[in-house]
Amino acid sequence: MKDSSGQEKIYDVIIVGGAAAGLTAALYCARRTLHTLVLTKSLGGQAAMTPAIENYPGTKKIAGVDLMLQFQNHAKSYGAQFAYETVTSLTKEKEVFTVKTTTGQYMARAVILAFGLTPRNLEVPGEQGLQGKGVVYCATCDAPLFKGKDVAVVGGTFEALDAALLLARMHCRVTLVHEKDGYPTHKKLFEQVQQNPQIQLRMNSAVVRVEGTQKVEAVVIHGKEAAEEERIPVAGVFVEKGHKIDSAWVGDLVEFDKQKAILISLNNETKTPGLFAAGDVTPLRDKQVVISAGEGAKAALSAYHYLQKQSGKPVLLVDWKHSEE
Ligand SMILES: Cc1cc2nc3c(=O)[nH]c(=O)nc-3n(C[C@H](O)[C@H](O)[C@H](O)COP(=O)(O)OP(=O)(O)OC[C@H]3O[C@@H](n4cnc5c(N)ncnc54)[C@H](O)[C@@H]3O)c2cc1C
């Protein structure tokens, strides 16, 4: 990205991920007048998938997407900039980071990794090409688009059962596909699903492929004990297989734990100076909006301290003073 004089523009901070952690980090960076860019695939991350958050302090009940919009507007009001791009690589040379995306590249003196969790794919033929054309990963966001249609829900999670019931309430005929024979950790919800006449069960079955040209036309499954594949005509496939940390692109600038979470210090530093991480992308035991937000704030302040030290300036230790003495 070049500035008006044709020079490669160097941001103070680039934040990867525009959700609870990244948006809070953006607010804190921007309030410190750091030139801040948020690169994100989408706004709001996991929080945007839930219709009601009831445990964010100060807001008794709010739709996740509304809370995330408030986070973003707050960060923007202090000057944080946003670009909706997927980051694909990160390198550092001579104290400057280069962040490559699917459409361009950006530079910064500090980077905060706040790219959270990514929904698990089916990893079968047809899925990738039909993403957004009937293959979807968020029932809360997309169920209304399939009202009254035939759909499949795939996965062994609480969210899979919840999605099946939600879609049934929307007059869909639902086929629930799961590789095991039940949901032992969600027995009560599974009972509701079993009793719902609009939901057909295909337990012990795996999706083999998704079919369709312009949009989804069918899902093909194979039961463990079935001799042949079964083709089920559907307009939508809701993938509810949980989430994973998709961190391979960060390369060797950080250390990972066994789950591929990015290891950080108490102050959100990674092993590379100037590179910080926050939120669900780190090995947090409890994954909550308020926790990711707090971690985002910590990472931002650590980035600020780092940049101040790099430029030989004094470090201001509190955030509630309006001007530096
Ligand atoms: C269905 C559901 C309900 C929940 N309900 C609650 C609740 O009621 N209360 C609560 O406190 N918590 C709840 N949580 C948990 C909470 O939403 C998460 O812990 C929190 O949102 C994590 O925020 P995060 O910013 O760390 O990561 P995420 O929310 O995972 O956000 C990651 C961001 O990074 C972006 N991204 C990912 N990869 C890239 C890339 N390569 N390039 C650019 N951008 C990228 C994504 O688009 C996203 O914007 C819920 C989660 C789910 C899934």
Give the global pTM. 0.85
CATH of domain 128-239: 3.50.50.60
CA–centroid distance, 259 to ligand 1, in Å, is: 17
Given a cut of 60, is residue 77 above it in pLDDT?
A: yes
As to burial, measured by CB atoms within 10 angstroms (0-12 exposed, 13-18 middle, 19+ buried), residue 296 is: buried
CATH 3.50.50.60 corresponds to the domain 10-117+245-310: yes
Q: How far is the CA of 40 from the centre of ligand 1 (A)?
A: 12
1 confidence band (pLDDT: 50, 70, 90): low
Percent of the chain with pLDDT over 90: 87
Residue 259, Cβ density class (10 Å: 0-12 exposed, 13-18 middle, ≥19 buried): exposed
Structure confidence by residue, pLDDT tens digits, 53-67? 999 999 999 999 999
pLDDT tens per residue across span 99-138: 999 999 999 999 999 999 998 999 999 999 998 899 998 8
As for ligand 1, residues whose beta carbon falls within 6 Å of it are 16-22, 39-42, 45-47, 49-50, 53, 55, 86-87, 114-118, 159, 279-280, 287-290, 292
pLDDT tens digits along 217-228: 999 999 998 899
Q: Whose CA is nearest to atom 12 of ligand 1?
A: 288
The b-or-e profile of 91-105 (16+ CB within 10 A means b, else e) is ebeeeebbbebeeee
Which single residue is written with the structure tokens 């669900």?
Answer: 280
* Domain 10-117+245-310 identical in fold to domain 128-239: yes
Q: Could you state, in order of their start, the residue ranges of all structural domains in the chain?
A: 10-117+245-310, 128-239
The closest of 156, 145, 148 to 201, measured between CA atoms, is 156
Report pLDDT for 312: 86
